[in-house]
Amino acid sequence: MTALYHSFTGLDLRAEIDRLRAEKNAVILAHYYQKPELQDIADFVGDSLDLSRKAQATQADVIAFCGVRFMAETAKILSPDKIVVLPDMDAGCSLEDSCPPEQFAAFRAAHPDHIALTYINCSAEVKGLSDVIVTSSSAETILAKLPRDQKIIFGPDRNLGGYLVRKTGRDMLLWPGVCIVHEAFSETELLKLKARHPGAPVAAHPECPAVILDHADYVGSTRGILEFANAMAGDTLIVATEPHIIHQMAKAMPGKRFIGAPGADGNCNCNICPYMALNTMEKLYVALRDLEPRIEIEEGLRLRAKKSLDAMLDMAGGTVGRGDLGPARVTGD
């Protein structure tokens, strides 16, 4: 591993990233789906809601966002005076791609009596067309604060939307987007895995389809899944979300065993997010060195998108899961 980092122009990338972080007064934020080396060098590792809060609160001049584009855009919308860099600008998201702003605007126009409750996995344009943004950890809390008779469009994730409809009994109009990563889990393979590990609970992200969620003992955000793993009594957990989260679990709970739920081919490689995987230590180093590629958002659009994000941050309140694993590191902000 270490040798690999030395191979990029002969530099010690870890040391160089540390040097640049201090020199540029930068904070490195990373999502749980990032490669282990990026999670380990980050100042803070979190789920989408926690990363938004960190981006809003940081005193750093530069935010280096190891995640996907909609996450870095959220950081820029909330912290416009900061320089926000994303190591690879092609780090998109299938949910964002499934919801082109012009089609979403037409859908909204066709349902003028509905408000748009929108998953954070979308473009800044779609945020600007929405009333309230939610993350997987805040969606239930926020939905409970909306009047029962309020008509709601929920997009772009039909799996998270469907889960909320089943869980809360609220009727919502669902946009038909999916996460290609969570769609790839196989019910048949999951059942075979459960049979091999009788008694091991299944923790699943709500972006999974209902056939997977039906077998889950716990459904929640990435942070929620980590907290479930921490609190569970047994020593083995089947994890139905992007497998890089297992890095944090293994670090925090070395005595427990975490098994990634399989895709249709019986192994879980097809569940690695191809967008998250674009970020590397080399690209993070270049992003800190050059302060590029940089997220820029036109001010009118930023202000429109900020309204729905502010609504989320207000309404999510102190949404927290059980237990707090805390930041991976606490430097930088």
Binding to ligand 13P (CB under 6 A) within 15-74 occurs at 47-48
| Residue owning tokens 């019986």 | 266
CB nearer to ligand 13P: pick between 135 and 280: 135
Which does residue 47 bind out of ligand 13P, ligand SF4, none, counting CB within 5 to 8 angstroms by kind? Answer: ligand 13P
| Residue owning tokens 């393979």 | 189
Q: Count residues near ligand 13P (CB under 6 A).
A: 11
Among 64, 129, 179, 212, binds ligand 13P (CB under 6 A): 179
| Residue owning tokens 């092609």 | 90
Q: 229 is written with which tokens? A: 């793993």
Query: How many Cβ atoms sit within 10 Å of the Cβ of residue 221?
Result: 25
CB nearer to ligand 13P: pick between 64 and 276: 276
CB nearer to ligand SF4: pick between 20 and 51: 51
- Is the Cβ–Cβ distance between 178 and 132 less than 8 Å? no
Q: Alpha helices of 42-157 — where are they, by DSSP H? A: 48-57, 69-78, 94-97, 101-110, 124-128, 139-144
Site string for ligand SF4, 264-293 (x = CB under 6 A): ---------x-xx-----------------
Helix axes 48-57 and 299-316, enclosed angle (nearest 10): 110
Among 216, 242, 262, 302, binds ligand SF4 (CB under 6 A): 242
Rounded to a whole number of angstroms, the distance between the first and last alpha carbons of the chain is 28
- Contact between 121 and ligand 13P by CB under 6 A: the answer reads yes
Nearest approach in angstroms of CB 120 to ligand 13P is: 7
Q: d(Cα 140, Cα 135) in Å, to the nearest integer?
A: 9
- Is the Cβ–Cβ distance between 156 and 96 less than 8 Å? yes
Which does residue 64 bind out of ligand SF4, ligand 13P, none, counting CB within 5 to 8 angstroms by kind? Answer: none
Q: d(Cα 98, Cα 157) in Å, to the nearest integer?
A: 9
- Contact between 79 and ligand 13P by CB under 6 A: the answer reads no
Binding to ligand SF4 (CB under 6 A) within 286-325 occurs at none
Going across the sheet that includes 26-31, the strands are 44-46, 26-31, 62-66, 83-85
Nearest approach in angstroms of CB 98 to ligand 13P is: 13
Nearest approach in angstroms of CB 43 to ligand 13P is: 17
Site of interaction with ligand SF4 (CB under 6 A): 33, 68, 93-95, 121, 179-181, 207, 242, 273, 275-276
Q: Which residues form the interface with ligand 13P (CB under 6 A)?
A: 47-48, 121, 135-137, 179, 205, 207, 221-222
